């Protein structure tokens, strides 16, 4: 079961926690950033537990996802600290509507095998789009130091996973 973070204090805390995991958390971090500043795209953020989360998924609210073929509105952003936790969530909850055309985006290498196995178990086709993400030091405007990464970690973080699922 996933919990929606409705309280602004919780979302602000999540934003700060996700900032510590940039660039891997960048897709979800960006959504939480915009939610905390007015939520112009009517998104929601879900966690597996709070405040000690392992997986965060951001997505449009259900009312925004009424057209099953509107790929532009069915975009999910995923960040996980535990691939097996993500596998369990995607396999046992309805947090993702697998009956719609959708996109799942994230910046972690572990996402592809997890999402691929779930989609294949449901008999769905995947279209993969991988692109480079250029990483440079930035100040995210949160308290504390920005994390430092070695060159190997930066290289691992440069692949953006973008999966399209067709029904």
123: pLDDT strictly greater than 80: yes
List strands edge to edge, sheet with 3-4: 3-4, 43-47, 55-60, 75-80, 102-106, 159-166, 125-132
Mean residue pLDDT of the chain comes to 81
21: pLDDT strictly greater than 50: yes
At 105, which helix (H) or strand (E)? strand 102-106
Write down the pLDDT at residue 154. 43
Span 10-21, mean pLDDT? Answer: 97
**What confidence tens digit (pLDDT) does each residue in 78-118 have?**
999 999 999 999 999 989 988 888 889 998 989 999 999 99
68: pLDDT strictly greater than 80: no
Write down the pLDDT at residue 144. 47
Which is more confidently placed, 21 or 166? 21
Write down the pLDDT at residue 153. 46
């Amino acid at each position: 079961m996933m919990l929606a973070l409705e309280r602004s204090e919780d979302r602000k805390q999540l934003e700060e926690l996700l900032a510590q995991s940039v660039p891997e958390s960048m897709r979800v971090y960006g959504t939480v950033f915009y939610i905390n500043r007015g939520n112009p795209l009517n998104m929601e953020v879900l966690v597996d537990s709070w405040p000690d989360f392992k997986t965060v998924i951001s997505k449009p609210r259900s009312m925004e996802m009424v057209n099953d073929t509107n790929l532009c509105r069915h975009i999910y952003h995923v960040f996980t600290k535990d691939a097996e936790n993500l596998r369990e969530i995607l396999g046992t909850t309805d947090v993702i509507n697998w009956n719609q055309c959708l996109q799942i985006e994230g910046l972690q290498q572990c996402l592809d095998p997890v999402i691929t196995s779930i989609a294949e178990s449901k008999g769905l086709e995947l279209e993969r789009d991988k692109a480079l993400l250029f990483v440079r030091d930035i100040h995210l405007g949160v308290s504390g130091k920005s994390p430092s990464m070695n060159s190997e970690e930066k290289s691992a973080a440069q692949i953006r996973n973008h999966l399209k699922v067709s029904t």
